[in-house]
Amino acid sequence: MNKLKYIRKEVSIPDTFQNIDNWEVDRRKFLRATLLAGAATQISWFTSCSRQLEQANDYLTAEQSTILKDILMIIFPEDGNGPSANDINSFGYILWVLSDNYRKPEDNEYIMEGINWANETSIEIYDQPFIELSKEEQEKMVELFTEMEWGKNWMSVMVTLVLESLLLDPIYGGNTDEKGWQWLDHVAGVPRPTEETRFESFIHKYKPGQI
């Protein structure tokens, strides 16, 4: 069955997504279910995936990393108009965010919940993990996210993170070679942060124990 028909805008949300909307009532419950589902399919992903997976890191598995990078490139694509998410290292910036324990733990869990949710939704619709979808299919999935309450909120968070990776100081991993600032003709304020004054150093110095 061609499940693409289910994600056309004019078609009402199929039962799968109605269920997902219900799950939003209890995000934690949904997360647990999604994680279990992810664990069950993990081995087959590694063996069947034709694309090269990102390296795992301290915060994301290889497949989570690949999903995230794919979504970031949809949010900020290579389209000839300024830098792409890859050009400004949005992925690396988000890894820094995930390492930042000044944030509430649930804020970072939320990023990962969304990645898992994207994958689970892909499997529900296409019987394939997100990274196995064609670019067009991935774009349709992301469009679908923005039409769903929980997905829209998660996407909004991700867009903000991409904007941070575009415009915050390169010291935090994004805005590679100040490409974001150059593209938007932005002149940074001085003094800029140094290793001694960057956020983590500031917190260590003035709010010890909070990071």
Give the interface with other proteins as residue ranges (CB under 8 A): 74-77, 79, 81-82, 100, 102-104, 139, 142, 146, 152, 155-156, 159-160, 163-164, 166-169, 172, 181, 183-194, 197-199, 202-203, 205-208, 210
Cβ-based nearer residue to other proteins, 32 or 207: 207
Q: What is the Cα–Cα distance from 89 to 199, expressed in whole angstroms?
A: 19
> Contact 175/181 with Cβ under 8 angstroms?
yes
The total number of residues written for the chain in this structure: 211
Q: How far is the CB of 52 from other proteins (least distance, A)?
A: 24
* Residue 85 or 125 with smaller CB distance to other proteins: 85
Phi, psi of 207 (to 5 degrees): -135, 60
Nearer to other proteins, 49 or 109 (CB): 109
Contact 153, 76 (CB under 8 A): no
Give the integer Cα–Cα distance in Å for 13 and 19: 10
- Smallest separation (angstroms) from other proteins to the CB of 91: 16
Judged by beta carbon, residue 33 or residue 82, the one nearer other proteins is 82
Of 5 and 207, nearer to other proteins (C-beta) is 207
Least distance (Å) between residue 117 CB and other proteins? 17
3-state percent helix, strand, coil for the chain, nearest multiple of 5:
65, 0, 35
Cα 62 to Cα 64: distance, rounded to the nearest angstrom: 6
Residue linked to tokens 């942060």: 193
Smallest separation (angstroms) from other proteins to the CB of 40: 30
For residue 47, the minimal CB distance to other proteins (Å) is 32
